[in-house]
Structure 1
Amino acid sequence: MAPKRLITWIATLTLLMVSSLTWAKNQVEGVRIWPSPTNTRVVFDMQAAPQYSYFTLNNPTRLVVDLANTAKTLNFEGIPNESKLIKRLRYSSPKDKASIRVVFDLNEAVDPQIFALPPTAPYGDRLVIDLGSKTDTPAQMIKRQSQDQDRKIVVAIDAGHGGEDPGSIGYAGSYEKHVTLSIARMLAERIDRTPGMQAVMIRSGDYYIHPNKRADMARQQKADLFISIHADAFTTPQPSGASVWVLSMRRANSELGRWLENSEKHSELLGGAAEVIQDTASERYLTQALLDMSMDHSLSTSYEISREVLKEMDKITKLHKSVPQAASLAVLTSPDIPSILVETGFISNPTEEKNLNWAKFRENMADSIYQAVERYFKRMPPDGTLWARLKRENRTHKVSPGESLSLLAQRYNVQVSDLKAANNLDTDMVRIGQVLTIPN
């Protein structure tokens, strides 16, 4: 072959190789599907930052995602899919040779939100597709009794992180999302077996919920308290100890101002009072006054419950901060709901990571949070609850030598089971000097 023709041939081959690489400089390295009761998050692990566009189709319902400059390298057949929203994930004819087209065959119409995420350990570049159901409602919505009389105290329990967001990762590879869900479940179990209380799990499995939506879910379920459970972390292994955080006044005021501007929020936040207040400029001050009162009550309640939780946690672990800390945190955005964030320890500290992976420590942590919450609500039960009525009606009795539960039940003409329920007793044993609540 002549030298000139050889050079031309090599140049042409090189150009073709470069062009081929340019056409498909990115690729999908993996797909993860994270279903929740009402939403599904799909994560495409990408080799590089994705270039994407999308649209929806009806009859049948589909979501179509186009990825530019991406090679078709992954088989979708073996990807685990437990989502009720997604029927199938497949390829379709792309817009051009340098792209791929991914089609989501759906079981119902959805509200898609699609965005790219930069590398964050342990993940690289990602394309996130959030599919929200248009028809489902939260699976565990609480139905209040008429006029809210004798209702249960509702505690919303939020296990931090979840799904493709592992939270902090310990030295030995422990994921914060698993620790928080375990403690949350233990706490919910203790609350649910307490007469007059009910737990609502914001996240009941390993899936992701946006931090800003968690407080909204608590509000939808008319929670009297919102508890978010986390495990702290730092860049060095030395810091240790538990802490409790509340909403900062600055963040609370900014949220309040945002709500005042949104008149559609007023009925949600003020309940029946919003129907009385006309949405006029002359009466806006009344709306603000009521929201201010709600915020003051919620912040003071949050602070008092935080102090009780710290008092109990101090019995089982070291405290990183001995008083409640105020901060502007994504998950604490509800000035209308008493809300606390509990850091159960530093997962970045090897010793505390071992503790957080120890079932007995997690049980003790759940016990300490539960005891603090129970003690506060027995002292200050929310209006309309069974505990509030019992507090108004109940009498007390100090146990003397020779007295028993059965004897006191006869004396006050009540059932032994009612005595035990009113005092949260697991046995028939009482001790001398113990003060018992006697229900009417």
Structure 2
Amino acid sequence: MNAKPVARRTVLKAGGTLLLSVLAPQLAHAAQILAVRVWPADDYTRVTLENDSDLKTSHFLVKDPERLVVDIEGLELNPTLKSLVAKIQSNDPYIKQVRVGQNRPNVVRLVFDLKEEVKPQVFTLAPVGNYKHRLIFDLYPVKAVDPIAAMIEKGEWSSDSKSATATTQPAATPAPATTPSSGAQANTAAGPVQPPVGSGTATHPAPPGTADAGANGKPDIAAAKPEPKHEAKPDNKAEQRAETRPGKVTRMITIALDPGHGGEDPGAIGARGSREKDIVLAIAKRLKARIEEHPNMRVMLTRDGDYFVPLPTRVEKARKVDADLFVSIHADAFVQPSARGSSVFVLSEKGASSTAARWLANKENQADLIGGANVKTPDKQLASVLFDLSTTAQINDSMKVGKAVLGEIGGINKLHKGSVEQAGFAVLKAPDIPSILIETAFISNPEEEARLLDNAYQEQIANAIVKGIKSYFAKNPPLAKSRQT
């Protein structure tokens, strides 16, 4: 009489074991969201989901009102992912709010309510450095931000100056610097949103809109173009009168300042926990203020906040404003904490000038891997730049300004090497813009890290760079421009 119940229990037990054997791998391999980060900027807003495995996603856009819908497979909703809702700031240029919900088993849906139409880029990044797998949402405006228009809006660029540069006269020596001045959302579940008929996954790529002269500091007189009239009798008042003379327009000098790293890429980390990206942005802002004290100079920052800009985009931004000079600012680290001193680097076509320069260039060129550039969007301009016939002239001019800047920096800090070094830095590859990379000091050296965090030293390094730039342009006034941007 007990045979049938025993047989039934045996069958049920076997069936349960089989079901668990099927479901267990799925449950064991369910992805976990480890961190969520949001990086709003005028150029674009980035949302990062860091997780312990690669994620499969699909996304589509919905109109009236504008929304981006993202479905993430193999994922269960957890508190970390829910925290994304509170990370959207009210001043985000592109995201109004985000809704997060479990759309169906093992599928989480994110609905981004947008402030305007966007072109999204959704891509994944393999583990690198301290990061695990990352799922990236980059939300770009349909009409890319124009750097010149942005500068006009901020009052940093006159609306008629771009057309004027084609026929203006070379700039006179800039006037001396004046005294420096110190510079929650409700979590609503994301209900099902059906894609409109004919809509696909909008993945259209859109570009954002990422130590060493002579130790004696003497200018490169041999390579300079002499200007005897201006050098013999400098008269700032006379120059100002000439600038205001009817029919004469001063040739404005445009300088692109590039604070390294940013956003997902912190750069080098000091013993005190200070981050390179923060220090170099502070120095760049001080340098911008010092440069703009001169009436014939203006500055474009490749980034003015804590967000990531891919290396090719930094170069392209400088070209879009027709920059006369590109200055990338860093405070790097070395494997040995005893390394110290400031350096200046320019591009090399033939290889690095030292083993240390090669090591540093390779490290800096990995910024896109750490910061998270979409490698599916190739940059043809940078890929072919070393074959451009103008590169040799660019390197020659870069050496001149590098020597002038290094000579001034040597007056306030020990130089890592007494001459300008060369290496294949990707960020220096604008074929038509003199470009230098400045290592202000080693953040990995405890003593120099303390100096980098000091306001007085930041001011000193900014003033030294300005003096070097002035010295270069005094001997090498920029010509009228005819480049196409």
TM-score normalised per structure 2: 0.66
Alpha-carbon deviations, 1:379-405, whole Å to 9, x = none?
2211249xxxxxxxxxxxxxxxxxxxx
Query: Residues of 1 paired with 2:251 and 2:102: CA distance?
Result: 56
> Residue 18 of structure 1: which of 24, 35, 38 is its match?
24
Conserved in 2, the CA contact under 8 Å of 1:26 and 1:46? yes
2:287 paired residue number: 187
SS of the aligned residue for 1:336 comes to coil
1:88 paired residue number: 97
Is 1:140 equivalent to 2:141 in the alignment? Answer: no
Alpha-carbon deviations, 1:275-308, whole Å to 9, x = none?
xxxxxxxxxxxxx9xx63x434322111111111
SS of the aligned residue for 2:50 comes to strand
SS of the aligned residue for 2:331 comes to strand
Query: Residues of 2 paired with 1:107 and 1:332: CA distance?
Result: 35
1:112 paired residue number: 120
Alpha-carbon deviations, 1:398-419, whole Å to 9, x = none?
xxxxxxxxxxxxxxxxxxxxxx
Structure of higher RCO (CA pairs closer than 8 Å, 6+ residues apart)? 2
Alpha-carbon deviations, 1:157-211, whole Å to 9, x = none?
1111111211111122110000100110111010001121111111111111111
C-alpha displacement of 1:366: 0.9
Query: Residues of 1 paired with 2:136 and 2:449: CA distance?
Result: 30
Alpha-carbon deviations, 1:309-362, whole Å to 9, x = none?
111111111222222222222212201111111111211222221111111111
2:479 paired residue number: 383
Compared CA separation, residues 261 and 121, structure 1 to 2 (3 A): closer
Compared CA separation, residues 334 and 87, structure 1 to 2 (3 A): same
1:35 paired residue number: 40
1:392 paired residue number: none
Compared CA separation, residues 137 and 306, structure 1 to 2 (3 A): same
C-alpha displacement of 1:51: 2.6
Return the letter of the residue paired with 2:151. Q
Query: Residues of 2 paired with 1:65 and 1:260: CA distance?
Result: 32
2:57 paired residue number: 52
Conserved in 2, the CA contact under 8 Å of 1:67 and 1:99? yes
CA-based RMSD = 2.9
Compared CA separation, residues 19 and 366, structure 1 to 2 (3 A): same
> Residue 332 of structure 1: which of 415, 419, 428 is its match?
428
Return the letter of the residue paired with 1:161. H
Query: Residues of 2 paired with 1:250 and 1:351: CA distance?
Result: 35
Compared CA separation, residues 171 and 38, structure 1 to 2 (3 A): same
> Residue 69 of structure 2: which of 64, 73, 78 is its match?
64
Compared CA separation, residues 235 and 50, structure 1 to 2 (3 A): farther
Is 1:123 equivalent to 2:122 in the alignment? Answer: no
Compared CA separation, residues 261 and 8, structure 1 to 2 (3 A): closer
Is 1:165 equivalent to 2:174 in the alignment? Answer: no
- Deviation larger for 242-251 or 66-75: 242-251
Conserved in 1, the CA contact under 8 Å of 2:40 and 2:92? yes
Compared CA separation, residues 63 and 239, structure 1 to 2 (3 A): same
Compared CA separation, residues 53 and 6, structure 1 to 2 (3 A): closer
C-alpha displacement of 1:121: 4.2
2:218 paired residue number: none
Return the letter of the residue paired with 2:24. V
Query: Residues of 1 paired with 2:290 and 2:54: CA distance?
Result: 45
Return the letter of the residue paired with 2:111. V
Conserved in 2, the CA contact under 8 Å of 1:237 and 1:348? yes
Return the letter of the residue paired with 1:362. Q
Query: Residues of 1 paired with 2:421 and 2:477: CA distance?
Result: 24
Conserved in 2, the CA contact under 8 Å of 1:247 and 1:335? no
Conserved in 1, the CA contact under 8 Å of 2:256 and 2:299? yes
C-alpha displacement of 1:11: 2.3
1:242 paired residue number: 342
Query: Residues of 1 paired with 2:439 and 2:457: CA distance?
Result: 14
- Hey, which of these two has a bigger chunk of strand by percent? 1
- Hey, which of these two has a bigger chunk of helix by percent? 1
2:306 paired residue number: 206
2:456 paired residue number: 360
Query: Residues of 1 paired with 2:294 and 2:425: CA distance?
Result: 30
Q: How does 1:271-350 map to 2 (within 5 A)?
A: 292=389, 294-350=390-446
C-alpha displacement of 1:127: 1.2
